[in-house]
Amino acid sequence: MDEDAGTPQPAAPGRAAGPRQAWAGLPWPVRTAVTWGACLVVVVAALWLLGKIAVLLAPLAVALAGTLFLTALLDPVLLRLRRLRVPPALAALLSVLLLLGVLVGVGALVWNLTASQFGELSQQLDQGLERSRDFVTSSLPVTDEQLDRQIEQIRNGLSGSAPDPVAGARTAAEVAGSLLLGLVLLFFLLKDGRSMWHWVLRRMTGPRRDVTAEAGRAGWRTLGAYSRGTMIIAAIDAIGIGLALVLLRVPLALPLALITFLGGFVPIIGATVAGAIAVLVALAANGPTTALLTLAAVIAVQQIEGNLLEPLVMKRQVQLHPAVILVVVTAGTLVAGIAGAFVSVPIAAVTWRVLDTVQRHRAALPD
């Protein structure tokens, strides 16, 4: 019997050891670049796949996020009704009807108070545009022909980018379906939301139940604080800017105040766009002096809101850097348009709070 039969033989050249030796023979910068490149390809492919899924499910995701936002906003009303021994279904229905009543009432009030001003505003806009044209041609090195050429190019661009009627009808149908789905989900979340959450917790055991319960409470508190705080700050902004517009006798002060209120739900960008609209209306209607005064009022109100009211109302419940907010709002707008801009920041705030709670809970556990 051969005495070397039980001894393992070395691998034949060119088999398993070949690729390993070839990889080990590469310089370390090449190996590092290949490894990081492969990881980058995997990450980009995963992000691309998630983006495609998010675009396909954008109406559902936006409807669900908006429903959770409204649920957190109406939760104190629901709790007050439940303390009065109102049945859960009736309390949820009354909360939804209260929301619809407020929205319909505000819309009807704004329309009744401002419908008569639209005809007068069109004349003032024509006069304001003429004054603005004279101001531009007299103050800047721009001739009437150059200004007319630029205006014509803008008009052609806007007419060329007009939405397709079929796409517009499809978008309208998606919006209507999302609104209806949101109302139905809002009723069921108000009625059975807590029992659903308790059902989820009962399916978990051990430390997972504790960390899930704590993260869920932290996320819900953050969403409630964000929704109520944002509504309060947006209302204060709308009242302050609306009073300034009334004192300066700017037309359509109430609709502009309503736009300011809605813009307050999109941090940074919403307030900037709403203030710019108010300044443009003041410029077109009453001239440069009123526009400058309106700009000063908008800046003053926003500075008071950003430096005093927001830290006081929000406290430390929502901690997101302004750069993160800009990126999140931009991403939400690209994925789901205006609705995505509204819901992107609360989603990011709740996600960050949940992850932070889980990390702190894990750090507190023994090794």
Calculate the dihedral angle through the C-alpha atoms of 281, 285, 290, 294, rounding to the nearest 10 degrees.
-20
At 296 the pLDDT is 92
Please report the pLDDT score of residue 187 as a whole number: 92
HSE on the CB side for 302, CA within 13 Å?
A: 20
Q: What is the pLDDT of residue 162?
A: 47
Look at residue 121 in the predicted model and tell me its pLDDT. Answer: 60
**pLDDT for residue 17:** 53
Question: Does residue 333 lie in a domain region?
Answer: yes
Look at residue 273 in the predicted model and tell me its pLDDT.
Answer: 83
- What is the structure's pLDDT at 95? 92
pLDDT value at position 161?
46
Per-residue pLDDT of the chain (367 residues; tens, 9 = 90+): 444 444 445 545 545 456 677 777 778 787 888 888 888 899 888 878 877 787 777 777 777 888 888 898 899 999 999 899 899 899 999 999 999 998 888 878 777 776 666 666 666 666 666 766 777 777 777 677 777 777 777 666 655 544 555 666 776 777 777 788 888 889 999 999 889 988 888 888 777 788 888 888 888 888 888 888 888 888 888 899 989 989 988 888 888 888 888 888 877 777 788 888 888 888 877 778 888 899 999 899 888 877 777 666 665 556 677 777 778 888 877 777 777 777 888 888 888 888 888 888 777 766 5
Q: Supply the pLDDT for residue 165.
A: 59
What is the pTM assigned to this prediction?
Answer: 0.67
Q: What is the pLDDT of residue 125?
A: 62
Phi, psi of 2 (to 5 degrees): -70, 125
Closest CA to 242 of 83, 61, 113: 113
How far apart (Å, rounded) are the C-alpha atoms in residues 127 and 285?
A: 7
Residue 117: predicted pLDDT: 65
Q: How far apart are CA 139 and CA 121, in angstroms?
A: 26
3-state secondary structure of 16: coil
Is 145 contained in some domain? no
Domain of 227, in residue numbers: 37-138+194-364
Tracing tokens 């005064």 back to the chain, one arrives at 293
| CA dist., res. 267 & res. 237, Å (int) | 12
3-state secondary structure 88-135: HHHHHHHHHHHHHHHHHHHHHHHHHHHCCHHHHHHHHHHHHHHHHHHH
Cβ count within 10 A of residue 311:
10
- Is residue 178 in a domain? no
The answer as to whether 207 is a domain residue is yes
**Position 27 in a domain:** no
The total number of structural domains that make up the chain:
1
Exposure string of 67-96, with b = 16+ CB inside 10 Å and e = fewer, is bbbbbbbbbebbeebeeeebebeebbbbbb
Exposed, middle or buried by CB within 10 Å (0-12, 13-18, 19+), for 165? Answer: exposed
Model pLDDT, residue 47 = 77
> Residue 122's pLDDT is what?
63
Q: Shortest CA distance to 187 belongs to which of 78, 110, 286?
A: 78
| Residue 152 forms part of a structural domain | no
